[in-house]
Amino acid sequence: MTSNTTFPRIWMVTGASRGIGARITEAALAQGDAVVATARDAVALQQRFGHSEGLLALPLDVTDEAQAARAVAAALDRFGRIDVLVNNAGYGLLGAVEEASADEVRRLYETNVFGLLNVTRAVLPAMRARRQGHVINISSLGGYQSAAGFGLYCSTKFAVEGLTEALHAELAPLGIHATVVEPGYFRTDFLDAASLAVSPRVLDDYAASAGKVRVAATRINHQQPGDPLRLAQALLALVASPTPPLRLPLGTDTLQTIADKHAFVERETAQWRTLAASTDFPKQVAAAVV
């Protein structure tokens, strides 16, 4: 086991071989932290990051709960602790909700939701024992506002948002932080075939909604406004904060999406407030029941 005092922080990053996960891993290593970098292909990790005392590259398919437990055990054996868990592994699914098959949806949830839970459950016992740690779940702009063409992917990120809110409340009394990070469109390979599944079934009725998104995804690929290097630096600042937020939106597109959704909800709630409020028991009946 490497001494606990050798590295300021020990990170565990899933989906670390490319994209955001790779940038976070590189940034953490560059500042002198240690990283347990995991991906389905551990060879790809070694090729990207090389060999160093601060790197432990492990194979991990997050949908395999037993493998997640083994990876965490290996991390603790090597470094003695895990200070920061970054649940980054995941992929997108493009297509209208009706166009996706049951198998496509099931596979998506196995990775994006159940996989995240597998790794989190494996890491938390060691964090609870130390009363210290930070769980960071990578969500998306789509975890705050769903959209045509990405509805099923967004639904997995909505699940991640709900889980993180609960974790934040459950872990705070134990001295452990939980943050959900909501990146907008960053210039990674997320829209490439390696990270984005596309439903092969195409229904003409959705041409004006999800169909347009299929075309747009190809057009904006590798033209996204977000800088993944700056995102990685933002993650370093996040874990360095003594009071990290529950939510961290990243990118001006996410900030605008949040503002637009809040405005929409305010307008719609005001329009339907009378009907919404009409469903309580009358006050005299409620008082009698109490």
Helices assigned H by DSSP within the chain: 19-30, 42-49, 65-79, 102-109, 116-130, 151-171, 210-220, 228-240, 252-271, 273-277, 283-289
Spot the catalytic one: 144, 153, 185, 206. 153
List the one residue out of 106, 119, 64, 110 whose CA is nearest residue 90: 110
Residue found under tokens 């045509």: 148
The predicted pLDDT at position 115 comes to 98
- Using DSSP's 3-state secondary structure scheme, residue 94 falls into strand
pLDDT-derived band at 3 (thresholds 50, 70, 90) equals: very low
Phi, psi of 36 (to 5 degrees): -90, 100
**pLDDT tens, residue by residue, 184-219:** 876 656 555 566 788 888 989 999 988 778 777 666
The predicted pLDDT at position 196 comes to 78
Residue found under tokens 């329009």: 271
At what angle are helices 19-30 and 42-49 packed, to 10 degrees?
50
| 144 included as an active-site residue | no
**pLDDT tens, residue by residue, 52-102:** 999 999 999 999 999 999 999 999 999 999 999 999 999 999 999 999 999
CA 183 remoteness from chain centre? 9
The predicted pLDDT at position 27 comes to 96
Spot the catalytic one: 157, 185, 199, 206. 157
| 153 included as an active-site residue | yes
**pLDDT tens, residue by residue, 258-284:** 999 999 999 999 999 999 999 999 887
- Using DSSP's 3-state secondary structure scheme, residue 242 falls into coil
- Using DSSP's 3-state secondary structure scheme, residue 195 falls into coil
pLDDT-derived band at 228 (thresholds 50, 70, 90) equals: confident
Quick count: other Cβ atoms within 10 Å of Cβ 201? 12
**pLDDT tens, residue by residue, 125-162:** 999 999 999 999 999 989 998 999 999 999 999 999 99
Question: Strand pairing partners for 124?
Answer: none
Starting at the earlier edge strand, list the strands of the sheet with 10-13: 55-59, 34-39, 10-13, 84-87, 133-138, 176-183, 247-250
The pTM assigned to this predicted structure is: 0.91
Spot the catalytic one: 139, 140, 155, 199. 139
Task: Provide the percentage of residues in the chain whose pLDDT is more than 70.
Answer: 89
